[in-house]
Amino acid sequence: MVLDMRLVGWVFILLAAPLGHAQGEVYKCADASGRPTYTNVKRDTVGKNCTLVSKEVSVVPAQAPTRATPSSASSSTSATRNENRRKILESELQNEHQLLADARQKLIEQEGTRAGDERNYAKVQERLKPYHQAVDQHTKNIEQLRGELDRIR
């Protein structure tokens, strides 16, 4: 029984060995339009003008590109870019302050107005909700712009 298992193992190895070897061969063939095609199947090369490219193909993963160290020219470009970015952010910050002031003014106006059908305070809150959201959004925008400006400086 043990001898039979060993015999089966050897037969399997002997039959599988040529298959493993054939998979390592890569052929380059030209198709009808002249474009190169590659195959590792020997029977696909029959009748075609194919050449053996390599018996062993090693696949090496691509290396990630490395960043170059900044030179004095790129450093001045970077400084100019940061200065332009700072000016844009300051302009946006000033604009957001104006938008926040307008949103607060509209909220105050709406809080002073009471429609006749708003006997319930929940209805008043529902009507004022978009105005509160506008104030909150502009406040958040100002905080984010200040954070960006702090990172540049």
Instruction: Encode pLDDT of 82-128 as tens digits.
Output: 899 999 999 999 999 999 999 999 999 988 887 777 678 788 888 89
How many CB atoms sit inside 10 A of residue 144's CB?
14
Q: Both tokens of residue 114?
A: 């009471």
Indicate the Cα dihedral angle 48, 53, 56, 58, nearest 10°: -120
pLDDT at 77 over 90: no
Measured CA to CA, the distance from residue 27 to residue 51 in angstroms comes to 6
Q: Both tokens of residue 66?
A: 């490395």
Residue of higher predicted confidence among 138 and 111? 138
3-state secondary structure of 24: coil
Say whether both 43 and 90 belong to one domain.
Answer: no
At position 103, the amino acid (one-letter code) is A
Say whether both 33 and 88 belong to one domain.
Answer: no
Q: Both tokens of residue 56?
A: 């062993």
The confidence band for 29, taking pLDDT boundaries of 50, 70 and 90, is confident
The confidence band for 58, taking pLDDT boundaries of 50, 70 and 90, is low
Whether residue 1 lies inside any domain: the answer is no
User: Up-side HSE of residue 11: CA atoms within 13 Å toward CB?
Assistant: 6
Range of the domain at 122: 81-152
Residue of higher predicted confidence among 62 and 81? 81
Count of the separate structural domains present in the chain: 2
Say whether both 87 and 142 belong to one domain.
Answer: yes
The confidence band for 64, taking pLDDT boundaries of 50, 70 and 90, is confident
Whether residue 121 lies inside any domain: the answer is yes
Helical (H) or strand (E) element with 128: helix 121-152
Say whether both 87 and 143 belong to one domain.
Answer: yes
Whether residue 100 lies inside any domain: the answer is yes
* Predicted pLDDT at 84: 92
Whether residue 119 lies inside any domain: the answer is yes
8 A C-beta contact, residue 57 and residue 24: yes
Measured CA to CA, the distance from residue 41 to residue 128 in angstroms comes to 73
Measured CA to CA, the distance from residue 110 to residue 118 in angstroms comes to 13
Say whether both 43 and 92 belong to one domain.
Answer: no
Say whether both 86 and 148 belong to one domain.
Answer: yes
Which residue among 41, 56, 71 closes a domain? 56
Say whether both 52 and 92 belong to one domain.
Answer: no
Q: Residue with structure tokens 């193909």? A: 57
Measured CA to CA, the distance from residue 39 to residue 146 in angstroms comes to 59
Say whether both 91 and 130 belong to one domain.
Answer: yes
